[in-house]
Amino acid sequence: MNFKALMLGTALFGAGFSASALAADLTVGFSQIGSESGWRAAETTVSKSEAKKHNVTLKIADAQQKQENQIKAIRSFIAQGVDAIFLAPVVATGWDAVLKEAKEAQIPVVLLDRDIDPAGKDLYLTAVTSDSVHEGAVAGQWLVKTVGTKPCNVVELQGTVGASVATNRKKGFEEGIAGHPNVKIVRSQTGDFTRAKGKEVMESFIKAEGGGKNICAVYAHNDDMMVGAIQAMKEAGLKPGTEILTVSIDAVPDIFKAMAAGEANATVELTPNMAGPALDAVIAYKTKGTVPPKWIQTESKLYTQADNPKAVYESKKDLGY
């Protein structure tokens, strides 16, 4: 609890200073999952620029996708007496003990881009995430609309096992295709949100499905796994984007490059700027006592080949993905 910042904040606020000036001296510890995807790299880049904009000191700990490293980082932030903790939880369970320690230390925790199990609801201040069930549903509805009544066998590349977004994107996609028995998931396996694993799993799907001729579409829980899958399909002599439809999530630059080349069809956008709204909420909480809503939802937008993918690629390519 940085009392100095609070006293300074109250005094300055009375004198009509803006919230970002009041943030002077706030230190936030960010337990980041790692850099498994282009989207995650962009989230880290944007977090740094948002911290500068908000005049906040941001300490980022990269967990290399291991929960035990995230727990260690949170304990270190508590020991350092940071003013707030940001956590992108690699999986949804196993956080109770360490988040209780943060609560006892009166350090507010904000979840970024992924959730923890609802039982832990009182262990964090707010969660800045998309609606990942909706993302999956948008992907499923696009596929149903695109194939009509044609039979369509789908292979699914799931995100990290146990991650809230993987569970939700699977659930949402199944809701999106419900009521259309001609569209069915014939194989589903985790590619852990990485290009390499996405490629490897897609190679096994191609082998198992008659060299790929039985596959009508690929649904990947993120674009990075899809970029890997596209490589696997091309190496097998298949035509992703035409013979085999693709739909994934994140809207990273490389999926637009593939769309422009006719090798990918659709993606659901996820903003990498979770830190901006999180910093706004923490500053208001620390300087004015404003309690934010439990969920700060970010938008999801569908992009297809009809949305000028080359121009979208140009607009995104320098944003730190």
Point out which residues bind ligand GZL (CB under 6 A). 36-37, 39-40, 113-114, 130, 165, 193, 222, 224, 249-250, 270
Q: What residue has token string 């008659």? A: 210
Q: Which is nearer to ligand GZL, 141 or 222 (CB)?
A: 222
Shortest Å distance, C-beta 133 to ligand GZL? 12
DSSP code of residue 299: P
Q: Which is nearer to ligand GZL, 25 or 131 (CB)?
A: 131
Shortest Å distance, C-beta 171 to ligand GZL? 14
Edge-first strand order for the sheet with 109-112 is: 57-62, 27-32, 84-87, 109-112, 126-130, 295-298
Shortest Å distance, C-beta 166 to ligand GZL? 8
Residue 296 corresponds to which amino acid?
Answer: I
| 174 contact partners, CB below 8 Å, separation of at least 6 | 136, 140, 185
DSSP code of residue 55: T
- Among candidates 281, 269, 283, which has minimal Cα distance to 42? 269
Shortest Å distance, C-beta 196 to ligand GZL? 13
Q: Which is nearer to ligand GZL, 28 or 88 (CB)?
A: 88
Q: Which is nearer to ligand GZL, 195 or 286 (CB)?
A: 195
Shortest Å distance, C-beta 248 to ligand GZL? 9
Q: Which is nearer to ligand GZL, 19 or 227 (CB)?
A: 227
